[in-house]
Amino acid sequence: MSGDTADSLAHASPTHPAGSSSLGPRVPRSPSPLPHHQREGQVTFTVGDAFYRRQSALARDLAVLVATLEKQRLGHLRVLDAMTGSGVRPLRYLLEAGVDWVWANEGNPELADTLHANLAPVDATRYRLTHEDAQAVFFRCYQERDFYDLVDIDNFGSPNPHTSNALWAAKIGGLLYLTSTDARSTSGHDPERSLRIYGASARSHPAVHEQGLRLLIGHAAQTAAARGLGIQPVFSLFTGQVHRAMVRLVKRPTLSSHTYGFLGYCHTCGQFQTVDWRNLGRVICPGDHSTEGSTAPTLSGPLWLGDLHHGPTLAAMTALAETWGWSAQANRLNRMAAEISLPPYYYPLGELGRRGQHDIPNRDHLIAALQTQGYRASVPSCDPQAIKTDAPLYRCLTLARDLR
């Protein structure tokens, strides 16, 4: 779904070319990796029995970019990597982003030898390695008033209870990197589970990849709001199986009925809409209902309706990625930037073809046609085979038909 060329490139080859001093941050060069070693970015490591997915390299690349900028901004950066696996993240944060200190925690003590060996090239005063339950680590941080600039939570499955507990370990103004591999429940295939985990109804519709991000962020925003805090998304990333969001914990509230509400989807005509809490009892589809069928949309939510990304940070990340020669990552960041402030849904091209009863429209031609008509339109970062626009669906269908 989201495996277009740029993404595939990012997954297949996210590394800085070895030996090229003009690309990527300057870190000590290690000899050519042994066959059983992995190389990612500027680091080499052994996976052993640890969990490691090369397809998640893009997620780590973007975190390295943010950490580098944050270190430049603050002058000093401490990271808590709560579920470190092979230790690839602490290695990359320390050696590529130049962060000062990392607490690398991994719940499985059987990975101790692998982790010690992988972190051996780093000065031992720059990290701490523990094997505890991540929840205990978060609460210990709070108890010891030991708060972190970046808390990285690379959990399996749902983000709960990690997200809410990780708030105890983050500085106000610090970053949380959230994960959900729970696409089944965020896409409407396990409604009872989405109710339990997110306190939300997740329904099935054509824009469920973005819905997964919005449930993840909405859950974090609601948990933070209950403590009198706010969260501000820095970037949001869907890579085909995993939803991730880097969010900043801020003092001012960010959750309101404008940023946290409902998404309506009309199964009859295909039109999306956002729905405010106060209108829940009287939601009617604004779309073309010349055909028979219900005018009552199905509702998903509550979920995050605010921006998925922070524009100025994306711009700085893109500039840094270009400096390092990370063109695939820069392309992805540009696509994220183009969708800021567009509506919280998208229309897959296949869905437009099906609704319009014609061939799948050419994405770039349709976007250009919409823009010529004065609408905003871009490629959604969650699904390259789709369009995101503020135009009503019937305009998309008319323009798609005219393109033929």
Alpha-carbon span 106 to 104, nearest angstrom: 7
- Which one of Zn ion, ligand SAM, none is in contact with 239 (Cβ closer than 5 to 8 A by kind)? none
Which of 9, 25, 52, 160 touches ligand SAM (CB under 6 A)? 52
Count Cβ neighbours within 10 Å for each residue of 182-220 and write b for 16 or more, e otherwise: bbebbbbeeeebbeebbebbbbebbbbbbbbbbbbbbbb
- Residue 154 interacts, among ligand SAM, Zn ion, none and using kind-specific CB cut-offs from 5 to 8 Å, with ligand SAM
Q: Which of 67, 22, 19 is nearest to 324 (CA)?
A: 22
**Which span (48-56, 186-194, 220-228, 353-361) binds ligand SAM, by CB under 6 A?**
48-56
Q: Which is nearer to ligand SAM, 85 or 297 (CB)?
A: 85
Identity of residue 147: F
83 binds ligand SAM (CB under 6 A): yes
Listed ranges 49-57, 72-80, 138-146, 377-385: which one lies at the site for ligand SAM (CB under 6 A): 49-57
Phi, psi of 59 (to 5 degrees): -60, -40
Closest by CA position to 138, among listed 127, 154, 156, 153:
153
Contact residues toward Zn ion (CB under 5 A) are: 266, 268-269, 271, 285, 287
Q: Which residue is nearest to ligand SAM (CB)?
A: 107
Nearest C-alpha neighbor of 80 from the set 179, 180, 176, 157: 176
Dump the DSSP string for 220-263.
HHHHHHHTT-EEEEEEEEE-SS-EEEEEEEESS---STTTEEEE
User: Per CB under 6 A, does 49 bind ligand SAM?
Assistant: no
Spatial contact of 16 and 63, defined as CB atoms under 8 Å apart: no
- Residue 96 neighbours by CB under 8 Å, 6+ apart: 24, 25, 27, 41, 42, 43, 64, 68
- How many chain residues are in contact with ligand SAM, going by CB under 6 A? 19
Residue 287 binding partner per list Zn ion, ligand SAM, none, with a CB distance cut-off of 5 to 8 Å that depends on partner kind: Zn ion
Q: Does residue 335 touch ligand SAM according to CB under 6 A?
A: no
Nearer to Zn ion, 89 or 355 (CB): 355
Counting contacts by CB under 6 A, is residue 277 touching ligand SAM? no
What x/- string results for residues 87 through 126 when contact with ligand SAM is judged by CB under 6 A? -xx---------------xxxx------------------
* Side-chain half-sphere exposure of 103, counting CA atoms within 13 A: 23
Contact partner at residue 83 from Zn ion, ligand SAM, none, CB < 5 to 8 Å by partner kind:
ligand SAM
Under rule CB under 6 A, residue 351 binds ligand SAM:
no
C-alpha neighbours within 13 Å on the C-beta side of residue 308? 29
Q: Can you name the residues that pair with 250 across neighbouring β-strands?
A: 230
84 binds ligand SAM (CB under 6 A): yes
Query: How many Å is the Cα radius of gyration of the chain?
Result: 22
**Using the rule CB under 6 A, is 154 a contact of ligand SAM?**
yes
Q: Which of 41, 85, 306, 344 binds ligand SAM (CB under 6 A)?
A: 85
Residues that bind ligand SAM (CB under 6 A): 50-52, 56, 60, 83-86, 88-89, 105-108, 133-134, 154, 156
